[in-house]
Amino acid sequence: MSAPEMLAVLLVVVLGLAATVSGQADGLSVVPPGPSVHASKGEVWPKPSSTKKTAWFYNLRPSSFQFLVTGSTCDVLENALTRYARVLQREAAVGRALARQEQRAGRRLRGWRNDPFFGGYITSLRVEVSACERWPYPSMDESYKLLVDVDEDAPDRAPTGRLTARSSWGALRGLETFAQLLSPSGDGSSLLLNATLVTDAPRFPHRGLLIDTSRHFLPVEDIKIELDAMEAVKMNVLHWHIVDDQSFPWQSSLFPELSAKGAYHPSLTYSPKDVLDVIQYARLRGIRVMPEFDTPGHTRSWGEGRPGLLAACHDFLGRPDGTYANIDPTKPENLDFLKQLFGEVAATFPDPMLHLGGDEVPDFCWDSDPGVRAYMENRGISGDYRRLQSDYLRWLTTEVQRLNRTPVVWQEAWQNGNFNADDVIVHIWLGNAMDLMNQVTRRGFRALLSETWYLDHLNTDWRAMYRIDPQNFHGRAEQLRLVEGGEACMWGEMADDTNVHSRIWPRAAAVGERLWSPRTTTDAAAAAPRLEELVCRLRRRGVTASPANGPGFCPR
Amino acid sequence: MSAPEMLAVLLVVVLGLAATVSGQADGLSVVPPGPSVHASKGEVWPKPSSTKKTAWFYNLRPSSFQFLVTGSTCDVLENALTRYARVLQREAAVGRALARQEQRAGRRLRGWRNDPFFGGYITSLRVEVSACERWPYPSMDESYKLLVDVDEDAPDRAPTGRLTARSSWGALRGLETFAQLLSPSGDGSSLLLNATLVTDAPRFPHRGLLIDTSRHFLPVEDIKIELDAMEAVKMNVLHWHIVDDQSFPWQSSLFPELSAKGAYHPSLTYSPKDVLDVIQYARLRGIRVMPEFDTPGHTRSWGEGRPGLLAACHDFLGRPDGTYANIDPTKPENLDFLKQLFGEVAATFPDPMLHLGGDEVPDFCWDSDPGVRAYMENRGISGDYRRLQSDYLRWLTTEVQRLNRTPVVWQEAWQNGNFNADDVIVHIWLGNAMDLMNQVTRRGFRALLSETWYLDHLNTDWRAMYRIDPQNFHGRAEQLRLVEGGEACMWGEMADDTNVHSRIWPRAAAVGERLWSPRTTTDAAAAAPRLEELVCRLRRRGVTASPANGPGFCPR
């Protein structure tokens, strides 16, 4: 650029800025017609570690396309191939419908056959897995490599696809990427994708979504919709906050009274079959189901089916006032009950992690229950409710470890507690999160982040969630390594099946990308068109994701 | 620290102090199990002007029940009777399903036959309308009287129902009340209702809901769901903000290019048949459809199909910069176009009111367009864009009055304008609303309120909306009489068919009650159980209303 050119550009920039200011004196701005953000085409969410694309592109017709397993196989992989074959068919069907509408409206359809970069028809994707695994686990290998290109060795130099992964989990993630690279051909005939090389692996092993089925019940069909959406954005932990103060929908086989009396209604419970159904559906998508049975607070509904379990609040004259709060851990029969119950939980939920809650434990009731007071006096810890709490949680974590489960606790349990570094994983949700992440990991604990990722905070938009990074604190390398990831949390006070999907998506996808993609993937403006595309993609798969960026549309 | 944060801290401090006394030192509270608010049974939303209920109750079996028309009739009434017969059947069916579940869970079902207050079986509701009308209008009579009681004159003293109204509109409202008085009998057999006398009439004539089909398209089926919900809460104006900057989905027969080029997609438009379908569906429910064609701002999408309509923004060298803002009212051909277009609008939408917008009109583009500048210079009004705006809107309102339509404008058009009291109805949405209501009515203008009633403000809960009263200003009696009512507004930037119903309902119902019920109906705590019941009732009618008050459930 010559000096006069530079000057001219500079002038335009400066005057442009001035114009922006002077033109918007009334706070209004020029609104262009059309969507506020135009969706990308065939871009992947979450963004892979490395993507190389060329201008060459190929055509894929689902009817003459197949997945070829060339390595190890198992039900996870076979099921995924069937599922993704359907995804391709549906994408093509939507493309056909759109083209018909465009045609009816008298628009010229896009031609691609004579495009100089058209490289032929792709008829297969070879899927090569070294070791096909059947159950997802916390350190599972989700890496994969995907190459779509002409095969230089084939006599006809036909385009071909190849997906390689060490485990079935990487294959699942690679299949999702492959499906997302495709976009309608524009003439309704088929799908197109570019010559592409993707090398990909997650940044964090724990990429979760919390659902709360106590404040409002969620039918199994709706939980499955969440699992479908999670698979689409490569999230891998369903944190099932299954019971709480308000209701106890989980059917225990040992203690059927818990749900018989603690559920909102007999129709609003999860039978053993329902739970298994969710776990299997999740397993086939490489998603772990980590249940949460939050104690000693948040257990009010437990008391309905288990009289004596909760400490009874007493009035100032020492009479029970009819209200209850925490579990009373001073009664041996209660500890025995919990031992049995958590044994059943561990037998029901195969995941190695078990969330024990431990948050928001109030002192009252403990403070007024004569039994609890007497117990504490006998042990010389009168009035030290923090001690009572931490003793209880130490006991519980030890029990749970005996069941071969790694306990996870909310931050208060750790703050009030007395744990060793390997005892628990600490889940941060409140306050100065980065300072807490630093403290927790400095003491050698593993950590999960959920602060800012509360989906029930309706004014927190996806960009705010996207900005957060769980390693954004000044910690040593070994501290940063203790960050396991995090979770988007859909607390259920105001959410049920009427609005839960549109509240979770697309915002949880921002968390999904933050936890999967490289640390440097932080440009929200660059991400917005991909998120716009993701929203329509999720809808085509039956997930009612709501608008991401403002005015716009999904062609239908 | 932001203001909300400061408030939160302050709250914590205050509650902490209070807790020291009550024993809630950690800011936590006892959470009872079960729903946060228990739903009422057979209570009406919006609350009628006067309801007298006795302990006597009657049984209604939809299969042996009929509506008897004893006065004037018409398609509005006949259609409503068919519709409400279906509502009764559905309510009974849900009651049956619930009883089956209770039974399966081993619970004892409620008996009512031996209840000393059981007064027999009601087999008919006589509906007597003095003058059955076919088209709803702004001053229509929606009053009714409903009496359900034993008929002292009948030889068998059987219970009977009688609904009387001057117009079909009152009959519609009374039928809705009748349907809401019913609740499942508990044993799955039928429905129950108390001996009741309701005398009812709306407080305000204009009880609206605004939908925005420009920022996101809403399929006709979803608009009909809104109309179903509006009928259930006796709202009577669908304010259809049909086009705006982003898209022009309305198919004009005179100017088909407007939607052909201005819609998001050829599939996302409203054909004349679609519009008629909405208007008829609304008419049968006593709901007026008031369209809004907002000018001279908010018209960016109009320009796509109508080159030359919009003022072109120019850069500092006097070259068009490719952006556009307002309609250019200085070109005679544009005024001619608008005259024709609004003629078609009036021919399409029969409602006597037509919303002309007039909000958020920016100066720029007008300010840089040489044609506009020259025109203004010639008329000696250079730089007076407020004058240009008000001249334009005066011209437009005159044209619209010639079409026998009462124009409605947003507050800015009135503030910047130069209208006489009978020219326009003023719609308040921004700023110190009560002060504006006072100003507007003091000058003799009729007014509508929407401030605080913006459903796109997600943190405004139903209680905040419920607190607002459009007559809550110090005005003389004749001023208060100029308050026509108001509207809940569902602006569509972030809402489409994935989330629009759950965002509108139940919050819009709070506005519905405020505008229908007596001024003294202000106790939100007393209203909450009725709203909880309404949410489940709306769901049974296919409206995905979201949770109203917190944790809870609708039996299913």
The residue with tokens 């530079």 is A6
Backbone angles phi, psi at A47, to 5 degrees: -60, 130
Instruction: Classify B450 as helix, strand or coil.
Output: coil
Banded model confidence at residue B191, pLDDT cuts 50, 70, 90: very high
CA distance A326 to A362: 7
- What pLDDT does B7 receive? 46
pLDDT in tens, B417-459: 999 998 999 999 999 999 999 999 999 999 999 999 999 999 9
CA distance A360 to A346: 24
Give yes or no for a contact between A545 and A229, defined as CB atoms under 8 angstroms apart: yes
| Nearest to A132, CA basis, from A62, A193, A72 | A72
Label the pairing between strands B118-121 and B144-150: unpaired
- Give the number of A-B residue pairs with CB atoms closer than 8 Å: 209
| Nearest to B28, CA basis, from A290, A430, A450 | A430
Q: Which of B5, B142, B360, B487 is catalytic?
A: B360
CB atoms within 10 A of CB B84: 18
Instruction: Classify B474 as helix, strand or coil.
Output: coil
The helix (run of H) or strand (run of E) holding residue B293 is strand B288-295
Give yes or no for a contact between B275 and B223, defined as CB atoms under 8 angstroms apart: no
The answer as to CATH 1.10.3720.10 being correct for domain A206-407+491-500+514-541 is: no
CB spacing of A547 vs B214 below 8 angstroms: no
| Nearest to A403, CA basis, from A440, A351, A443 | A351
| Nearest to B511, CA basis, from B553, B554, B448 | B448
In this model, does residue B521 exceed pLDDT 90?
Answer: yes
| Nearest to A501, CA basis, from A218, A175, A208 | A218
CA distance B190 to B183: 9
Residue type, B87: V
Nearest Cβ partner for B300 among A31, A216, A368? A31
Give yes or no for a contact between B24 and A364, defined as CB atoms under 8 angstroms apart: yes
| Nearest-by-CA chain A residue for B491 | A551
| Nearest to B164, CA basis, from B84, B71, B79, B232 | B71
Label the pairing between strands A183-184 and A191-200: antiparallel
Long-range interactions of B541-544: CB distance < 8 A, separation 24+: B541/B87, B541/B90, B541/B228, B541/B229, B541/B232, B542/B225, B542/B228, B543/B225, B543/B228, B543/B229, B543/B232, B543/B501, B543/B505, B544/A498, B544/A499, B544/B501, B544/B502, B544/B505
Q: How far is CA B92 from CA B85, B89, B539, B544, in A?
A: 11, 5, 15, 20
CA distance A419 to A395: 11
Nearest Cβ partner for A19 among B25, B101, B316? B316
In this model, does residue B1 exceed pLDDT 60?
Answer: no
How many residues are present in chain B? Answer: 556
CA distance A330 to A347: 26
Residues of A in contact with B502 (CB under 8 A): 498-499, 502
Q: CA geometry: angle at A78 spanning A75 and A82, to 5°?
A: 130
- What pLDDT does B26 receive? 53
Residues of B in contact with A104 (CB under 8 A): 266
- What pLDDT does A28 receive? 73
CB spacing of A28 vs B539 below 8 angstroms: no
In this model, does residue B25 exceed pLDDT 70?
Answer: no
Contacts of residue A12, defined as CB under 8 A and 6 or more positions apart, other chains included, come to none
- What pLDDT does A25 receive? 44
Contacts of residue B464, defined as CB under 8 A and 6 or more positions apart, other chains included, come to B452
CA distance B323 to B307: 12
CB spacing of A264 vs B553 below 8 angstroms: yes
The CATH code of the domain at B50-200 is 3.30.379.10
Residues of B in contact with A29 (CB under 8 A): 362
Residues of A in contact with B430 (CB under 8 A): none
3-state secondary structure B332-378: HHHHHHHHHHHHHHHHHCCCCEEEEECCCCCCCCCCCCHHHHHHHHH
E strands, A83-242, where?
A: 118-121, 124-131, 144-150, 159-167, 183-184, 191-200, 206-212, 237-241
In this model, does residue B15 exceed pLDDT 80?
Answer: no
Residue type, A227: L
DSSP string, A294-333: EESSS-TTHHHHSTTSEEEEE-TTS-EEEEEEEE-TTSHH
Give yes or no for a contact between B35 and A246, defined as CB atoms under 8 angstroms apart: yes
The distance of B149 to chain A (nearest Cα, Å) reads 34
Nearest Cβ partner for B494 among A544, A547, A553? A547
Please say whether the dihedral angle defined by the alpha carbons of residues A443, A448, A449 and A450, taken in this order, is positive or negative: negative
CA A155 distance to own-chain centroid: 44
Residues of A in contact with B245 (CB under 8 A): 31-33
Give yes or no for a contact between A86 and A60, defined as CB atoms under 8 angstroms apart: no
Give yes or no for a contact between B414 and B446, defined as CB atoms under 8 angstroms apart: no
Q: What is the mean pLDDT of residues B35-47?
A: 97
Q: Percentage of residues in chain B with pLDDT exceeding 90?
A: 87
Q: What is the dihedral of CA A96, A100, A103, A109, to 10 degrees?
A: 0
The distance of A255 to chain B (nearest Cα, Å) reads 15
Q: What is the mean pLDDT of residues B149-178?
A: 92
pTM, entire model: 0.94
CA distance A435 to A451: 12
Contacts of residue B196, defined as CB under 8 A and 6 or more positions apart, other chains included, come to B51, B52, B53, B54, B146, B147, B148, B149, B181
Low-confidence ranges of chain A (pLDDT < 70): 1-27
| Nearest-by-CA chain A residue for B215 | A551
- Lowest model confidence (mean pLDDT) among A154-163, B164-173, B191-200: A154-163
- Give the HSE-up count for residue A260: Cα atoms under 13 Å, Cβ half-sphere: 13
CB spacing of A267 vs B31 below 8 angstroms: no
- What pLDDT does A106 receive? 85
CB spacing of A550 vs B459 below 8 angstroms: no
CA distance A243 to B31: 14
CA distance A325 to B318: 73
pLDDT in tens, B399-408: 999 999 999 9
DSSP string, A234-269: T--EEEEE---SS---B--SS-THHHHHHSSSTTS-
CA distance A247 to A240: 14
Give yes or no for a contact between B543 and B228, defined as CB atoms under 8 angstroms apart: yes
Domain borders along chain A are 50-200, 206-407+491-500+514-541
Q: How far is CA B539 from CA B100, B111, B228, in A?
A: 20, 27, 11
DSSP string, B205-229: SEEEEEEETTTS---HHHHHHHHHH
- What pLDDT does A154 receive? 74
Label the pairing between strands B320-327 and B310-314: antiparallel
| Nearest to B483, CA basis, from B65, B134, B204, B207 | B204
CA distance B515 to B448: 11
3-state secondary structure A26-95: CCCCCCCCCCCCCCCCCCCCCCCCEEEEEEEEEEECHHHCEEEECCCCCHHHHHHHHHHHHHHHHHHHHH
Banded model confidence at residue B13, pLDDT cuts 50, 70, 90: very low
CB spacing of A499 vs B546 below 8 angstroms: yes
Q: Using the CB atoms, write b or e for A468-494: b if 16+ within 10 Å.
A: bbbbbbebeeebbebbbbbbbbbbbbb
- What pLDDT does B118 receive? 95
The residue with tokens 């939507």 is A94
Please identify every residue of A annotated as catalytic: 360
